Every structure is written in C-alpha cells, then in structure tokens.
Amino acid sequence: MENSDIVLSVKNLCKTYEGTGHKVQALKNVSFHLYRGELLAVMGTSGSGKSTLLNILGALDEPNEGMIMLNGMVKENMFTEPYATQYRRENIGFIFQSFNLLKDLTVEENIALPLILKGKESDEIDKKVRQMLEMVGLMEWKKHRPIQLSGGQQQRVAIARALITSPPIVLADEPTGNLDFNTSTDILNVLVDMKKRFHQSMIVVTHDPFVATYADRVLFFRDGQIVDVYRCTYEQEDLDRILEKFKKIMGKSQ
C-alpha cells in the first residue's frame, strides 16, 4: 500500500491509569496504520485496552505517550479543549454500544445534529439527512423519538449520525453489543455497505469473533498490546482462523 492510502497512523501509544495505590498500563506501545476505506477490527478480551484506544483516537482521553497522525499530520493540542471538541467534530464519527441518541430529539434531529453543530445551512442539512434516512432505511421513522424504536433501528440512527459529516474516521465501540444475532448481522451489513459506498475508514472494537469477520483486517489485543494480526479473506474460513487466534490469546491472558 502507498503512504497516501494511510488515513491514520498510531505510534507507540501508551496509557497508564493511576488509581489509588495501583497503576494499570492500559496501552503499551501500540502502533498501527488504518488505511483509507478499511474496516479494521480491534479484538481482545475485556480489559485488554480496546476502549482506551478508541477513546484516545477520538480525543475523549489523553495518552501518556505516543503520536497520532491523521491524513499525514499531527493535530496540535488535540487533547486540550477547545481543540479536542473541534478535532472530534471535524474528524470523528462515533458509534457506541448503547447508541447514545438524544432522547428528546426525533430521529431526523438526532441525525442532523453533527451538521447543526458545524453551522451548516438548513438546505444542506435537510438534503443530507434525507440521504442518510434513505440509506439506513428509516425514512418512515424520521419523526419518531429513539424510545419508539427497536435497538437495531436506534443503532441505524447512530450510524447515520456518525456518517453524515463524512468524517475521515468512524470509531465504533462494540456496536452490536446490545443487539441480538439477527439484528447484529443487519447492523454489520449496514456498516460494510457504508464502507463500500463512501470508502469510509472505520475502526470497530469487539470481543466477538463473528463481528470481526466483517472487517478487512483484525488486530488482536492482549494486556494493552497488539499481539497478532489477521487479514480477512471474506470466506467461510475467516471465522475459524479468528477464533483460533483469539483462543490462543485468551490462553495466554493473565
């Protein structure tokens, strides 16, 4: 791959949480690239540092050491307000396990929010919201509130909201963690569809080998480190290979 195909470069990221009397090294020298249009899965058991990584990439948490380059540039002060908020608005689409929709806003208002915060014109907002509603199949639900929707529908709203600004990267933390198997499959297909349509670069954190089979590449995390990588073939064998590697890691986990 060419360097210009790299959207995100992470070098030697370290994060230590200092609690009362004990330290947790959540990330130890984590380095990797995310390629343009790539769906990268980050897999690991609970406590392996996946959310810490995602929170740092999204400027929700600050690393102790390391470098993050987006489109070949280090963003100055990306962990200091007000720059952190600006960084998030310009560069990141978030998708969370618990959907995190605003309950008092309608579906279309939730989806429009990132564009409203960016100060876009209402004509442009209306057009984009309609496009997104169509893409996630929620046109008939646009006036509803999140509580009136199923979990899968709520996650579709969250996906539309994350993608409406065409951010350089989408970060998803266990996006199917609250959904049943069939709904999870639906949501994963929506993500893959978005990746293909918009050449969207995404990082999906998961502890579920099945979810990881939807990725292009899988990074395996153990105790805050990348310990293995798998490039998917999009064939049946991916699940077996990912399971095999995951079992190996779990066996070695403390």
State yes or no: residue 222 binds ligand ADP (CB under 6 A): no
Does 236 interact with ligand ADP (rule: CB under 6 A)? Answer: no
Please state the closest distance from residue 22 (CB atom) to ligand ADP, in A: 9
Quick note: the x/- pattern for ligand ADP over 2-41, rule CB under 6 A, is ---------------x-x----x-x---------------
Please give the residues from 96 up to 115 whose contact with ligand ADP meets the rule CB under 6 A.
none
**Which own/partner pairs from 139-146 qualify as long-range (CB within 8 Å, at least 24 positions apart)?**
141/107, 142/106, 142/107, 142/108, 143/106, 143/107, 143/108, 144/106, 144/107, 145/103, 145/104, 145/105, 145/106, 145/107, 146/99, 146/101, 146/102, 146/103, 146/105, 146/107, 146/110
Burial bucket for residue 105 (CB in 10 Å: 0-12, 13-18, 19+): middle
Spatial neighbors of 60 by CB under 8 A, at least 6 apart, are 84, 88
In the region spanning residues 45 to 74, those forming contacts with Mg ion, defined by CB under 5 A, are 51
- 177, interface contact from Mg ion, ligand ADP, none, CB < 5-8 Å by kind: none
Q: What is the side-by-side strand order in the sheet with 65-70?
A: 23-35, 6-18, 65-70, 73-74
What DSSP state is assigned to residue 52?
H
Helix (H, G, I), strand (E, B) or coil at 106: coil
Query: Quick check: 165 binds Mg ion (CB under 5 A)?
Result: no
The site that binds ligand ADP (CB under 6 A) totals a number of residues, namely 12
Residue 19 interacting entry, from ligand ADP, Mg ion, none, C-beta within 5 to 8 Å by type: ligand ADP
Tell me, residue by residue from 41 to 80, as one string, x for binding to ligand ADP by CB under 6 A and - for no binding.
---x-xxxxxxx----------------------------
| Torsion-angle region of 246 (φ positive above 0: left; ψ -120 to 50: alpha; else: beta) | alpha
Which H or E run contains 122? helix 122-135
Minimum CB separation of residue 62 from ligand ADP in Å reads 11
Q: Which span sits near Mg ion by CB under 5 A: 44-52, 96-104, 117-125, 145-153?
A: 44-52
Select 51 or 110, whichever has its Cβ closest to Mg ion: 51
- Please tell me whether residue 206 binds Mg ion under the rule CB under 5 A: no
Determine if 176 is a binding residue for ligand ADP (CB under 6 A): no
> What residue type is assigned to position 165 of the chain?
T
Give residues in contact with ligand ADP (CB under 6 A).
17, 19, 24, 26, 44, 46-52
Give residues in contact with Mg ion (CB under 5 A).
51
